[in-house]
Amino acid sequence: MNAVAAKDLSVAEPLTIEPERLPSAIGELIRDGGRMQMAYAWYAAPGRIELRYLASRGPREEYFLWRCTPRGAVPSVASICPLLGWYEREITDLFGVEFIGHPESRPLVLHQGVHPELPPFDPNYPINSELPFPPADSGLPQVAGADVQRLPFGPVRADVVESAELIFLYVGEHILHLHPQLFFKHRGMEKRFEGRSLASAVVLAERVSGVGSFAHALAFCQAVEQAAGCVVPQRALMLRSLLAELERLYNHLHYLGHLCGTTTLKVGEAEGKLLEERAKQLNGRLTGSRFLRSLLMPGGLRRDLEPKPWLGVDLEALRREIAAYVAMLENTNSHLDRLITTGVLPHQLAFDQGATGPIQRASGFDRDLRRDHAYAAYAELPLTVPVKTTGDAHARAQVRIAEIDASIALIQRILPLLKDGPVRVDCAPPANSEGLGWAESPRGSLFYAVHLGPDGSLARVKVKSPSFSNWRVFPFTVHDSNMMDYAINEASFGLTVAGCDR
Amino acid sequence: MPLWTFFGLQKGKATTPWPREKEATGQQGVLGMPRFEPERCGASCNDCAAVCPTAAITVEQDQQGKNRLAVDYGRCIVCQLCVEACAHEAAVASFDWAFGTRERSDLTLSPAVPGASRKAPERATRDGFRRSLHIRHVDAGSCNGCESELQALNNPFYNLHRLGIFFTPSPRFADLLLVTGPVTYAMHEPLRRAYDAMPEPRWVMAVGTCAVSGGIAAGGYACGNGLEGVLPVDLYLPGCPPNPAAIIEALLMFLGRAPQKIKGGHFVE
Amino acid sequence: MSNDLLLVALAAWLVAAILAPSGRAAILARALLGLGGVSALLLIATTLPQGLAAIHLPLGIGPAGAVFRLAPEALWLLGFGLFGAVLAAWLGPPERRQSTWIFGAAASLIGVLGVFGLQDAISFLVAWEIMSLGGAVMLLGDNLAQDIGRPVLFMLGLLEAGAVALILAFILLAAHGNSLSFADFASAAASLPRAEQLFVGLLLLIGFGAKLGLLPFYEWFPGAYGAGSGATGAFLSGVVLNAAFFALSRGLIDWLPVDRTLSLSIAGIFVVAIGVVSAILTALYAFQQEAWRELLSLSSAENGAIAVCLVGAALMFRQDGLMDLAGLAWIVALLHLAGHALAKGAMFLSADGVYRATGEYKLVQRGILTRSPWIFGLGALFAAMSLAAMPPQAGFVSEWYLFQTFFQGFHLTSLASRLAAALAGAGLALTVAIAFATFLKVFGIGLLGRPEQNGKPVSGATALAVGGLGLLVLALAVGMPVWLNALAPAVADNFATAAVDKMHVGPLLVPATGAPIRLNGTFAFISPSLLAIVMPLLAVIPMTMLLLSRRFAVRRAAVWYGGRDQDPRKATTTALTFSNALRTFYSFIYRPTVQTEHELADQSNGQPYFIRRLVFTHDVAPVFGPYLFAPLEKLVGAIATRLRIIQSGHLNFYLSLIGALLVIILFIALL
C-alpha cells in the first residue's frame, strides 16, 4: 500500500563533515525544508569521540546521519536549530565535549554542582562509585522585579507521580516562567547497555520507559535487525504491529482518565482508568505481561501468540464502551471549557523545539513514523493520521481519541490477516556494525541508534525518547499562562519523566 | 450536558470482589516469578544463570558434583529468559506474583538449608493501622512501570480506598513510605528528607525489584542498589512491575490481614 | 497665662524659622520647634473645653486688624496633630541637610496656627498659603527623591487651584456681607440666593478638599508624600490635614445657612456623595501601594474623606432638625481625625525608622519588628489597629460611631436623604474593609517576616516616639468617656445640643440616638475602657495552654518542601501578591497593567527561546490622572506654546508691549 516500503528500514551511510561546517550545513538543511532529529556522541575508537547528527531532508525522505570528529570545542548549532540545544548539553555532560556559542550552556543531565571525576561515558570512569548531588541553584533566568514569587514544586510531588522539580516564577495567579528541573530520575540507562548480550539488552530496553516498553524494545530490535540485515518473518511483523497498537491503546486510555482527573470530572476519570485497566488485563491475558514485556527479540518474537479466538470479540466490546465514553466527554461543556485554548502550542514553536507525536499532530504537522517511515507491518495496513491545527489541550485530546479508534481498527484489520508461520529468525549482527531503529511510541517518535563493537557486543546505544523532545517544548506553553490551567496543560501533554531522564 | 452521575450509577459496581473471592484478582494470564526445582537441573548446567540479566541466579557445584541452585527473587525482573533457556524444566513459568515479604531473606531460595523454616515473623505491631493506612509514595528513579501500577490501585477495579489504604500528598500524614526505583544519586537526598519528615511510627516499603535490590538499572554512574543501606525497609515486594493485586496483597499482609505467601524462597499458596 | 503660652509657641517657631536657613544650629532650631509644640500643647490642655478667647492683633491686613480666636474644636484638632508634629520635629528628617526642612516645618506650624485661629479672610488666606508653601518646602528639604520637582509642583498646582476657589468664595461672601471678618460670613451667606450659596459651598469644598484629598485632588498625594520623608508625612497628615478639615467644617456648618423651605439638604447629600466616593477610591488605591509613604498618604486622604462624609451627614441631620444626630456626626468627625492624627503620625515615624534601618521605604518583609525594641512593636501595632478599626483602639471607636451615625439615617424625612445615608453606609463599609486589609498589609509586610541577616533595628528614639504615640491612641480610646466632655461646649455652640452627654453611659459608649428610641445602654454600645481590662485577661487562657503543653516532648523536623531546600525568603508574600486578588477583582477601576520583558541570551541569534532575564513591571492606572489632569496639562501646555510668542527676545517688541499696556491703562483710567 505504501510505496516507500522498500527503502524505509534502511539508512544511508553516514556523511562525514567538518565540525566548523556544521552550522551552515544544518542551516541550509532547514531552509530547504529538512529537519534535524537528534544528535549524540560515542567512542568510535578508544579515545576518539565521534558526534552523530540524525536528519532528514523532508517529511517522507530517508534519514541520514552526519558524523564529525571534534578536535577540541565544536561550534554549537543551538541558535540555528533550537531543538539540538538539549542534545548538545547532554553530550557535554556525559562526554565532556564543549560547544562554543551555546545560548544555554548549563548542565542538563547532571545537575548544576555535580562534578564527576571523568565524563560518565569515558571508558575509564570508575563504575559503582557514588556521585554526590549537592543542592544547587537551577538554571532559572534572572528576574528583575521584587514581587516575582518563586515556587519550587518537587521533586517529590503531591500524588503518585514521577519525580521532577518544577520551578514556577509567578505573581499570584499569573505564571511568568516555568523551569522544569528534570533528570532526578537519570539512571544512566544508555551506558548500562554497553557490554550486554542482545537478549539481555532487549530486557533492558523494555525498562527504559515502563509504559512504552514495547515500543522501546521494538525500536531496539529493529536497529539490531538493520545492523544484521535480517528479514523478520511476516507473522512476527504482523504481531509486532498488533502489540504496538495494544500498547498505544492502554496509554491513550490512561491519558484520557488522567486528563479528566485534572479537569475534576470524577466519573470521567474513573471510567478512563477503568478502561485502561481492561486494556491492561487484555494484554495480560494475551501475552502474560500487562505491559507487553518479554515478547520481543532481535529477529522476531520470543514465542508465538494466539490472539484469534477471543481478542477480536473482547476488543469490540471495549471499543463500544470507549465510544460511549468519548461521546460523553466531547459533550461535557465544563470539561471542554477547561481544555479549549489552554496551553496553546504554536506551529512554529512545535517545529523549532522538535515536538513529536500526538502533540506535534495537534499543532498542524502531518507526521507519523508508522506511515512516513513504515516499519513492522505498517506498510501494508491502512493508517489514518489525525491532524489538528489549534494546538490547544483539546486538540491534543482529540488527536489521541482519534488514535484510539485508529488503533482498534488496525488491530481488527490485522487479526484476519494473520497467517501461520514462524515468528523468529536468527539474527546476529556482525562486529563493528551499526543500526538505526525507530518506532512511533504512544508519545511520539522514538529512535534507537545501536553500535556494535569489535567483539560483537554492544558498544553504544543511544535512546531518543519522545518525552525528551516534548519536555523541551512544554515550558514554552506555560510561560505567561495561569496557575489554574497548569495541571490541565501538563496532563494534556501526557509525558513521562522516565522516558526523558532515562 | 450529559449526566455523569447517572452514567456512573448505570455502570454499577466495577470493583472486583477480591480478596473476598480468591480467584477474582484480575490477573488472569499474568506471569509471575519462575518456580525452580533444583533437583531437575542438568549436570554442570548453568544456562539459567548465564542468561539472567540481573544475576539473580547462581549455580555452584557442590562436592558431589551436583548443581546447587540459589535464586534471589529480590533481583528477579520477571523477564522469563531463564524459563526459555532451561532445557531440563528446572525453571518453569508460574503465575506466582504475590511476593511481598517482611524479611529480605525470605526472598532467597538457597541450597544451604532447603526449605528450612525461618524464624517466625514477629507479630505485626500495627494494630492501630489495620484498617487505616496512609502511604506516601516517592519515586526514586523508576521506569514508570511501578507508578503505572500504583496509579491503577485507585481505579474502580481495585479501589484501594475500600480497604482503608490511602495515598497522601505529604509525608507528614503518612505511616508508610513506599519507594520505587533504584534510588538514583539525585533522588538520594529528597528521599532521605521525605523519610525524616514522617512522624513516628513510620515504615518503609520497597516496591519493585529496583527498590528491593536495584533491578536492571543497578550500579552504573547514576544509581545505587535500591534501598539497601539507604533506609530501613519493613516490607519488600519484588516484581517488574508488581501488578496491583500483588501490591494489595503485600499491604494486607503487612497489616496482618493476609498471610505471607513466600517463605524461604518457596511460594506457598 | 494661656496667651503667654501661645506667644511662647509662636515665638519659638518664628525663631526656629529664622535660625534654620543659616545651616548651623539645626539641633537648636529643632528643639525650638519641639518647645513651641509643647507650649502649644500646654495651652490646649489648659483651655480646651472653653476655647481660647479672642485676641485682637494690632497688625493685620484688613482695616480692623486681625482677630485670633481658637475655638474648642480647633484646640482639639490642633492638639492631637501636634503630638505627631512634636515627635517628628524631635526625630527630624532622615537626611543630613535639615535647614530647609526645619524652615518649612516652622512655616507650616505657623501657618497651621493661623488657619486654626485667624478670623478674617485675608489673614486666613495668607496663613493658608504659608501652610501650603511650608509643606512644599519641607518636601524639598527632605531631598530624598531624584525627581522631586515634578510631584511638588503638581501638589502646589492643585493646592493653588484650591486657593483660587477659596479666594473666589471669600470674595463672594465678603462682597455680599461688606466685611472680611468670618463672623459676618454667616449672615452674608444667608443673604445670597440659594444657587449662589451652593456655589460658595462647592468652592469651599474644592478649596479645602484640595488639601484634604477629596476627588480629584488626592492624586497629588502619592507623588508628593513619596518624595518626602516620614517626618514630613507626619506633619502633612497630622496638623495640616486637621487644619484643612477644621476650616472646611466651619465653612460648611457655620457659614452655610439652613434652608427651611427644603426637606433635604442638597449640600449635605452632595458632600456625603463626594466624601464616600473619594473614600472608596483612595482606599482602593492605598491598598495597591507598595511603599510606606504612598500608602499612608492615600490612607490619610481616605480618612479625610470619611471626616468630610460625616460633615455632610451633620448637614443632612441638621436640615431635618435632628440636632442630636447632627452633633453626633460632627463629634465623630473630630474623634476620627484625632485618632487618625495620632496613629498616622506613629505610622509615618515608623516609616522613617524603617528607612533609617534599611535604606528604603518599600514594604518588604524583613522582620524589623523582631530586631527592634518591643515598645516600637507595641506602638506600631496599636497605631495599625487603630487605622484598621480594630477594638479597642480609637479608630474602632470612631468607625463604630460612624456606622451608628449613618445607620440612624432612617430618622431623616426625605427619601433622597435616607437613600444617601444608606448608600453612604454601604460605601463606607467597603472602605473600612479595604482599610483593614491595607493596614494588615502595612504591618504584616512592612514590619513582620523572617529577619534578614545583618539587619539593623529601628533606633531607640524612633521606638520611643512610635511607642508613645501608640499608647496615646490606646489612651484616647480607653479614656473616651472622659475626653468626650472636652467637646461638650463646642457641640453646644454649633448645634445647640448636649449630644455629648448622650454619647456615654458610664464606661460604655452609646450612639446619641434621635427620638423616639430611648437612650440606654442596651441599644448599642461598645466600651474600650472595659475591653482594655478584659482583653488582657482573655490572653490568660492561651498562655496557660502554652505552658501546659510544654510537658510533651516534641521532635522537630525540617519544613517539608518536596525534598529540596527552599529559601522561604523567595516565597514570601510581597506587597503586590497580597493585593493581587483585589487588583483583579476591581480591575475595572484599576485597569492594571502587567508586562514581562524577556531578555535573550547573547548567542540566541534571534531565536526567542533562550531567555536570560525577565523584567517584570506592573502598574495600576489612576482614575483622574489620564482623564482630567493629563488633558488639562496638555491644554495649559498648548496655551503656553501659543503664548511663547511673547518671549521673542527682542527689546523693541518688549518696549512696544509696555507702550501698549500704558495706553490701555490710560484708557481704563479715563473711563
- Each residue's pLDDT tens digit, B166-220: 999 999 999 999 999 999 999 999 999 999 999 988 999 999 999 999 888 887 8
Amino acid symbol at A448? Y
Chains in contact with B, counting 3 or more C-beta pairs less than 8 Å apart as contact? A, C
Last residue of a domain, one of B96, B115, B142: B96
CB contact under 8 A, B220 and A289: no
| Residue B150 to residue C628: CA distance in whole angstroms | 64
Whole-structure pTM value: 0.84
Those of residues 10-69 in C touching chain A at CB distance below 8 A are none
Q: Which has more confidence, C665 or A60?
A: C665
Q: Which residues of A touch C566 (CB under 8 A)?
A: 152
Tell me the shortest Cα–Cα distance from A14 to chain B, in angstroms. 30
What is the crossing angle of helices A393-417 and A234-262, to 10°? 150
> Which helix (H) or strand (E) element contains residue A40?
strand A35-45
| Residue C41 to residue C46: CA distance in whole angstroms | 9
Provide the domain limits for residue B181. 127-267
Q: Which residues of A touch C618 (CB under 8 A)?
A: 145, 147, 171
B80, B132: one domain: no
Tell me the shortest Cα–Cα distance from B197 to chain C, in angstroms. 6
CA dihedral A51, A56, A57, A61 (to 10 degrees): 150
Q: Which has more confidence, C626 or A96?
A: A96
- Asked if B229 and B212 count as a contact pair (C-beta separation under 8 A), the reply is no
Amino acid symbol at C162? G
> How many CB atoms are closer than 10 A to CB A195?
13
| Residue A290 to residue A249: CA distance in whole angstroms | 12
CB contact under 8 A, B167 and A160: yes
CB contact under 8 A, A142 and C612: yes
DSSP-assigned letters across all residues of B28-95: TT---EEEE-GGGPPTT--HHHHH-TT--EEEEE-TTS-EEEEEEGGG-----HHHHH-SSSSEEEEE
Asked, as a colleague might, if the bond just before B201 is cis with ω within 30 of 0, I would say: yes
B50, B162: one domain: no
- Asked if C37 and C86 count as a contact pair (C-beta separation under 8 A), the reply is yes
Q: Hey, is C401 helix, strand or coil?
A: helix
| Residue B186 to residue A136: CA distance in whole angstroms | 11
Q: For chain B, what is the domain count?
A: 2
- Residue A3 has what pLDDT? 35
In a domain, B20, yes or no: no
Minimum mean pLDDT range among A387-401, A481-495, C610-624: C610-624
In a domain, B110, yes or no: no
Max mean pLDDT among A25-29, A397-401, B61-65, B94-98 falls in A397-401
Give the residue from chain B lying closest to A127, CA to CA: B220
CB contact under 8 A, B197 and C557: yes
Residue A172, chain C, CB below 8 Å: the answer is: yes
CB contact under 8 A, C558 and B190: no
B70, B155: one domain: no
All residue ranges of chain C with pLDDT < 50 are: 515-517
B151, B254: one domain: yes
For B222, the closest of A187, A286, A331 (CB atoms) is A187
B76, B152: one domain: no
CATH number of the domain to which B173 belongs: 3.40.50.12280
B77, B158: one domain: no
Give the residue from chain A lying closest to B5, CA to CA: A267
CB contact under 8 A, B84 and A303: yes
- Residue B191 has what pLDDT? 93
Q: Hey, is C294 helix, strand or coil?
A: helix
B166, B58: one domain: no
Strand partners, C70: C52
Max mean pLDDT among A212-221, B223-232, C61-70, C610-619 falls in A212-221
CB contact under 8 A, A291 and B80: no
- Give residue-wise pLDDT tens across range B104-137: 888 888 766 555 555 555 555 667 888 899 999 9
- Residue A407 has what pLDDT? 94
B150, B255: one domain: yes
Q: All domains of chain A, ordered by start, with CATH? A: 1-127 (3.30.460.80), 192-464 (1.10.645.10)
- Give residue-wise pLDDT tens across range B25-40: 888 889 999 988 888 8
B261, B131: one domain: yes
Of all residues in chain A, the percent with pLDDT exceeding 90 is: 58
Give the residue from chain C lying closest to A102, CA to CA: C603
- Taking each continuous run of H as one helix and of E as one strand, the counts in chain C are 28, 6
Strand partners, B165: B133
In a domain, B109, yes or no: no
- Residue A132 has what pLDDT? 82
In a domain, B21, yes or no: no
Max mean pLDDT among A51-55, B8-12, B93-97 falls in A51-55
- Per-residue pLDDT band for A2 (boundaries 50, 70, 90) equals very low
In a domain, B115, yes or no: no
- Residue A5 has what pLDDT? 36
In a domain, B105, yes or no: no
B143, B259: one domain: yes
Q: Which residues of C touch B200 (CB under 8 A)?
A: 555
Burial class of residue C429 (count of CB atoms within 10 Å of its CB; 0-12, 13-18, 19+): middle
In a domain, B1, yes or no: no
CATH number of the domain to which B41 belongs: 3.30.70.20
Is A7 a residue whose pLDDT tops 70? Answer: no
Those of residues 152-181 in A touching chain B at CB distance below 8 A are 155-156, 158-163
- Give residue-wise pLDDT tens across range A314-364: 999 999 999 999 999 999 999 999 999 999 999 999 999 989 999 999 999
- Residue C120 has what pLDDT? 86
B194, B78: one domain: no
CB contact under 8 A, A155 and C566: no
| Residue A28 to residue A35: CA distance in whole angstroms | 10
Residue C562, chain B, CB below 8 Å: the answer is: yes
B86, B131: one domain: no
- Residue B249 has what pLDDT? 92
- Residue C516 has what pLDDT? 45
Residue C554, chain B, CB below 8 Å: the answer is: no
CB contact under 8 A, A210 and B146: yes
In a domain, B184, yes or no: yes
Minimum mean pLDDT range among A303-317, A389-403, C550-564: C550-564
Give the residue from chain B lying closest to C555, CA to CA: B199
> How many CB atoms are closer than 10 A to CB B245?
23
